[in-house]
Each structure stands twice: as C-alpha cells, then as structure tokens.
Amino acid sequence: MPAVRDWGRRDYGPSLTDMRALVLERRAGRIPDTLILVEHPPVVTVGVQGDDGGAAASGLPVVSVERGGHATYHGPGQLVGYPIVDLAPRGRDVRRFVQELEAGLVEALATWGVRAGHVAGQRGVWVDGARKVASIGIAVDHWVTFHGFALNVDLDLAPFQRFQPCGMSGARMTSIAREIGRPVPLAGAKRPVVDAWLGRFAPGGPAAEVAAPDRPGLAPA
C-alpha cells in the first residue's frame, strides 16, 4: 500500500538528502511507493538543463540537482510533492508517469474551480494554456522516481521575476489563489492532491498509510 509522508515546512538541503535516502530504501523494497509533501523556505533549484545564469544573480539560495528541466523557485505557500515510485511494475514508462502526475494535479485543481491542463511541448500544468500553476521535474534511479512537482497554492510570485523559471518569463507563473481571487491555506491543498495521486497510484483508490514522524499530519481540505 502506498504511503504519504508530510514533512511540513523544511529546508531544501535536508529534504534532498532524505529524499535520496528513501530512493535507496524503495530500490531495496524496504518501503512502498511513497509521496512526500513538503513546503520549502525560499530556494531556486536548477535541473540538468541548466539556466541562463539568472538563478545565481537572483539573490536567492541556489541548488543544482539531478532532476529534469531548468531552474524553478520554491517558497512558502507552494506545495511540493516528491513521489518515490518504482516504475518497474508499471512498464518502466517514464512519460506515462509524468502524464499521470499532471493529470492528478489537474484533477486536484478542479476542486477549486480552476480549469487547467497540459500544453503541447511544455511540461507542467497550465491555466488557459498561458499561465503555469504547477511545475514538474523528475529524476529516475534504477526505475525509481524522485523529485516531482511544485504546485503554486498561495505564494508570493515576485521571486519568479528574478530569473527565468523553466526557461521562460516569470510573468507566466500563477497560483491557485491568484486564479480564484482569494487566499488558499496550504493545508487545504494537501487532501485533494493526495486523493488524486492515490487514485492513480494506489490499487483500489484513495487510501494510504500517512506517516509523518515529528511532522504535522495531513490536514483535511
């Protein structure tokens, strides 16, 4: 049975270390497929496609990582999800896995009345095909996935203007709160995202062990 771990708000560095350790645990079969939920203090991460040098000049902490994609921003009010999933029993289909992540986020966004979808040739989830509300960048180690998605729930979008997020203008970034015109508590975003994820990755639908030692548990929507 898949598990969900809520790490609450946590620095990026320790989260990255523990995420990589869980990949090894999943490869060894010692843990089930697991979705980590976390909120990071302000940081820019740069994927394997690099950036235009703007990330370093942004004045924000910058970390280079092994996920796909360019640079992106994480900060308070953004729900980050790290799915640790063994793709071997799922046909080793990375493209389908990413499509399922996108579809799950689209489903979760619909609970707020936000109509979102995929844009041909672009990764992530978009509103009206023009405003990016969620970024996706994964890595795969021996067919176990890590890194994942960043859903803009209710965060300050100004830091996206300091560099080229995902290789594009920061003006194209949006959030759930901006789209619906009212504040959205991060805790309220967790349940729809978890339910959508489990609906695709858990046999039998939304049910999972929620493990969050020393961290706040999942809050109801």
Known catalytic residues are 166
Tokens encoding 60 = 């924000």
Q: What are phi and psi of 121, to 5 degrees?
A: 80, 0
Q: Which residues of 39-75 are buried (b: 16+ CB within 10 A; e: fewer)?
A: bbebbbbbbeeebeeebeebebbbeebebbbbbbbbb
In the three-class reduction of DSSP (H, G, I as helix; E, B as strand; rest coil), residue 220 is classed as: coil
Closest by CA position to 98, among listed 131, 134, 73: 134
State the residue for tokens 């921003």: 73
